[in-house]
Amino acid sequence: MPNLTLYIDSQYASPWAMCCFVVLQEKSLSAELIPIDLGAAENKLPGFVEKSRTQRVPALVDGDFSLSESSAICEYLEDSFPQTAVYPRDKEAKAQARQLQAWIRSDLMALRKERPTEVIFFGEKYPELSAEASAAAQKLFAVSDSLLVSGEKNLFGSWSIADTDLALMLNRLIMHNDFVPPHLVAYANEQWQRPSVQLWLEQVRTGLK
């Protein structure tokens, strides 16, 4: 059995920690979860820095090997434990899924700032979207539509971890009662019912600091 440890944020609010947690669940891999208090700068302590060169969560430890950055962790787990796939088998679809993940992590900054995941996990409310964030939302809808085939429940025919990442991004708006096209609301709601996602949502959260 693998000896896995996943370091996550102590508030269980990181979308990237959630992504890695879901991958572990989908692959039926047991891992010890260790929360890191980012507010107390525990991510800068030497013991953690040894495991996460980027000093960020999530971080995965597999025996003597450690790795940070969620997309890298997902790909490592896919390569190491390929029996249950979390990426499409088709080469081009897999590349599209990884492209979507990279884009979600590197773009839409205004939207991510004005609709942080506290909206999803703590029910926080924020002011109306700025023009910049509204433009990011429109871009999000356009990219979603370019990948989601009409009538399909998943982006690439069968579920992949990219579906979880996209649904979470859409839910930043949906759960704040911002406008999202109804078919994308239906898509995100469907993704949110996945047992691995529900298990993350059920984690005990002590509230914002």
Q: Which helix (H) or strand (E) covers residue 119, if one does?
A: helix 118-122
Q: Dihedral sign, CA of 76, 144, 117, 121?
A: negative
Which of 17, 55, 15, 16 minimizes the C-alpha distance to 34?
A: 17
The residues that bridge with 59 in the sheet, in sequence order, are 7, 68
CATH number assigned to the domain comprising residue 55: 3.40.30.10
> Using 50, 70 and 90 to split pLDDT, how confident is the model at 1?
low
Residues 134 and 191 in one domain: yes
Q: CB–CB of 123/114 below 8 Å?
A: no
Residue 60 CA to residue 208 CA, distance in Å, equals: 25
Residues 39 and 95 in one domain: no
For residue 209, pLDDT beyond 70: no
Residues 145 and 75 in one domain: no
Residue 4 CA to residue 62 CA, distance in Å, equals: 5
For residue 105, pLDDT beyond 70: yes
What is the total count of domains within the chain?
2
In the three-class reduction of DSSP (H, G, I as helix; E, B as strand; rest coil), residue 126 is classed as coil
Residues 103 and 62 in one domain: no
Which of 53, 89, 93 minimizes the C-alpha distance to 73?
A: 53
Residues 101 and 137 in one domain: yes
DSSP per-residue letters across 105-149: HHS-HHHHHHS-THHHHH----PPPPHHHHHHHHHHHHHHHHHS-
Which of 106, 104, 71 minimizes the C-alpha distance to 172?
A: 104
For residue 207, pLDDT beyond 80: no
Residue 115, amino acid: R
Residues 121 and 167 in one domain: yes
Domain that holds residue 139: 91-196
Could you tell me which residues come within 8 angstroms of residue 51 by beta carbon, excluding any fewer than 6 positions away?
7, 59, 61, 66, 68
Domain C-terminal end among 52, 84, 116:
84
Q: What is the pLDDT of residues 42-91, one digit of tens each?
A: 899 998 888 899 999 999 999 999 999 999 999 999 999 999 999 999 99
Residue 200 CA to residue 138 CA, distance in Å, equals: 28
122: left (phi over 0), alpha (psi -120 to 50) or beta: alpha
> Using 50, 70 and 90 to split pLDDT, how confident is the model at 208?
low
Which of 47, 45, 42, 54 minimizes the C-alpha distance to 16?
A: 54
In a domain, 202, yes or no: no
How many angstroms separate the Cα of 48 from the Cα of each of 22, 29, 52, 57, 172? 22, 22, 6, 10, 29
Residues 100 and 176 in one domain: yes
Q: Can you give the pTM of this predicted structure?
A: 0.94
Residues 62 and 147 in one domain: no
